[in-house]
Homo-oligomer: A and B are copies of this chain.
């Protein structure tokens, strides 16, 4: 019989996907260039030419039986070693290849990391605003997701609410920095304080609490800054990564979990993820793409457009009177809406062909997200529409 649980989920469509589909339909009417589609976090810059060259070289000159052959169930050893080396020299870590578990993007990474360190009925804490897909990811493991209200002053962590929520059933903390949707980059101070609290609570509760750190935007940080590496602050850290944003490869489903060698049972966690894979049908990311990304491991696409776009939008929104925290990274900005009901606000914006995502599904009421991974030329053209919208609807 068909599974009633999944059948009941059929209504639960992502708000972001729905808006993106509306933008596509509207584009068919008036030309997509005239729709200011800030809905979807799909990178707008091409993959590096070196990646394309590496893949063409593999296809043209490699042995097809080897390139397209089964990956070992814990990933291709040379690829794991390359990823470990890169993390070590960039962040002063001491990973070996056996601490790296290649996955189908960050979604695959998170689903393995969560299953490895929780069991059904456990509690996982995350911080608003948060990526809405965390809810189905956690539901899929049988654990429960608790969302800590946002610190809307900075979109760092609301530590008061966090400490009040901690309890012995909490087995994992899920963070996302740089953050989708706020663009916040967790600071050294934030990560230090978070680690100290978790160390104390591990002692108090007498069990490990794992930090699952979701970092697909790690390389998109503005003003010449960098993202402090969370695993440097806390031993029990599972770093979840995707090359989708740094190399503009979201559709290729390639990422990894990196297990901090200082974590409890560090040597067991990757083999355990291999076992988890067998039950979910994951069975490794594509072999050829594993080999391809390893060839350009320290490269990125030209990510500068995102900073250009952020500055344009931040200046515009500020001058229009929006309450907005300046993003430190990502390709998102998360201003406060001009009325309490963010969905009503975003519906009105549609009349100006501005596709904005209301904040409710991110766990914060009254805000909206703009994904500015689009051409700068279009961002510039959107400013007039933003001005008209705010002037006509809110008299500003």
Contact = CB atoms under 8 A, between A and B. Distances in A.
A73 B2 contact: no
Interface residues on A, range: 35 or more
A264 B2 contact: yes
24 contacts: A1-B171, A2-B264, A2-B269, A3-B115, A3-B118, A6-B276, A42-B65, A43-B65, A44-B65, A55-B59, A68-B250, A68-B251, A70-B251, A104-B104, A108-B283, A136-B275, A139-B279, A140-B278, A251-B288, A252-B286, A253-B284, A254-B286, A280-B282, A285-B286
B252 A68 contact: yes
A261 interface: no
A284 to B, nearest CB: 7
Interface stretch (A45-53, A83-91, A343-351, A379-387): A45-53
A248 B63 CA distance: 12
A105 interface: yes
Q: Which 5 A-B pairs have the closest CB atoms?
A: A140-B279, A251-B287, A111-B281, A136-B278, A46-B64
Contacts of A105: 281, 283
Number of copies: 2
A312 interface: no
A377 interface: no
A265 B47 CA distance: 40
Nearest to A291: B251
